[in-house]
Chains A and B, each alone.
Chain A
Amino acid sequence: MPLPKVVAPTFELTLLSTGKPVKYRPFLVKEEKALLIALESGNEKDIISTVKNVIKACVMTRIKVDDLPSFDLEYLFLNIRGKSVGESVELLVNCKDQEETQVPLTIALGDIGLDVPQGHDKTVDIGGGIKLQMKYPSMDEFLSTNFTVTNSSDASGVDEAFESVAKCIDTVYTEEEAWSSEDCTHKEMVKFIEQLSSAQFKLIETFFATMPKLRYEGKVTNPNTGVDTEVVIEGLANFFG
């Protein structure tokens, strides 16, 4: 006898990085429980891994959730959350002039946009006629880089930075030739990175520093003093409040 299927409405959105449509369903009460448990742990890694598991369960289109860039994952989750809980997020904001005063702020999910910093380009021109076509790091790569490279002068930290950058190079090309990362070994790619000058490496770093992210900008007014406080929220953990 086949197992019963959960019947839930399905919705569609377009992924920001690829422009591909993705079908999804809202998360269920049991999945909300898993999210609450992760949230109470306060550990960003646990929160993200649970969010990823929930996204995997809710996405009906066959995509590799693990390979999605962080901003796609956040965008996907915000939309799933919108259909599961509601189209707005309520947060308490501390006023800058009176730290102890908290003002409730309601953010409509539609007001949370993708911020692409000026100068961001997936193509990096490192000079000498060589250009790199970059690809966005997955959430896992993004996390491991952010959680392990704590000291850039540390030798192992630099190695890990090279490893991470090598994973994000899609194609190296000149006017005449192109080398796809699929045709090279990871070791070859790391060796290529190692021979770059620090100025060239900085150009690659700009790609990572200016990566798109979900961002909300607004302001709240302190009811006691009338002073405005600017509110900038970035990243999934912060939208969790």
Chain B
Amino acid sequence: MLYHSSIDAFLEINFNLIHHHKWALSDIESMIPWEREVYVKYLANALEKQRLEVQQANG
């Protein structure tokens, strides 16, 4: 029914966004749930792209 099956998984994503990416909790909590999921997906794609670029640069 909701995006997350537990409050733990929900809070973990919030924690990662706040701690590693300097997002504000108030901004996250004012989003629509699907909007936050889209941002998380974009972020994951960007991180993956970054990882591949570093991998390629290192040969």
Kindly supply a per-residue 1/0 record for chain A positions 24-38, scoring 1 wherever the CB is within 8 Å of any chain B CB and 0 otherwise.
Answer: 001111101101110
A239 contacts partner chain B, Cβ-Cβ < 8 Å: yes
Kindly supply a per-residue 1/0 record for chain B positions 23-59, scoring 1 wherever the CB is within 8 Å of any chain A CB and 0 otherwise.
Answer: 0000011111110100000000000000000000000
Kindly supply a per-residue 1/0 record for chain A positions 197-210, scoring 1 wherever the CB is within 8 Å of any chain B CB and 0 otherwise.
Answer: 00000000000000
**CB-CB under 8 A for A33 and B1, given A40-B7, A84-B34:** no
Instruction: Pick the most buried of B1, B3, B29, B31: most chain A CB atoms within 10 A of its CB.
Output: B1
Note all chain B residues with C-beta closer than 8 A to A29: 28-33, 36
Q: Would A32 and B1 count as touching, CB distance under 8 A?
A: no
Distance from B45 Cβ to chain A, minimum over Cβ atoms (Å): 19
Interface contacts (Cβ under 8 Å), in number, total 54
A65 contacts partner chain B, Cβ-Cβ < 8 Å: no
Which of A26, A30, A39 contacts B29 (CB under 8 A)?
A: A30
Note all chain B residues with C-beta closer than 8 A to A239: 1
Distance from A19 Cβ to chain B, minimum over Cβ atoms (Å): 27
User: What CA separation (Å) do A28 and B2 show in the bound complex?
Assistant: 12
Q: Size band of the A side of the interface?
A: 20 to 34
Which of B7, B31, B34 contacts A85 (CB under 8 A)?
A: B34
A236's nearest neighbour on chain B, judged by CB, is B1
Q: Would B32 and A8 count as touching, CB distance under 8 A?
A: yes
User: What CA separation (Å) do A84 and B32 show in the bound complex?
Assistant: 6
Q: Would A36 and B28 count as touching, CB distance under 8 A?
A: no
B20 contacts partner chain A, Cβ-Cβ < 8 Å: no
Distance from B49 Cβ to chain A, minimum over Cβ atoms (Å): 26
B10 contacts partner chain A, Cβ-Cβ < 8 Å: yes
User: What CA separation (Å) do A83 and B32 show in the bound complex?
Assistant: 9
Q: Would B34 and A240 count as touching, CB distance under 8 A?
A: no
User: What CA separation (Å) do A240 and B5 show in the bound complex?
Assistant: 10
Which of B1, B4, B30, B34 contacts A6 (CB under 8 A)?
A: B30
Known A-B contacts: A27-B32, A81-B2. Give 6 more (CB < 8 A).
A28-B33, A29-B29, A29-B30, A83-B32, A85-B3, A86-B34
Chain A interfacial positions (CB closer than 8 Å to B): 6, 8, 26-30, 32-33, 35-37, 39-40, 81, 83-86, 89, 239-241
Can you give 18 A-B contacts (C-beta < 8 A)? A6-B30, A27-B32, A27-B33, A28-B31, A28-B33, A29-B32, A30-B30, A32-B10, A33-B29, A36-B4, A40-B7, A84-B32, A84-B33, A84-B34, A85-B1, A85-B34, A86-B34, A241-B1
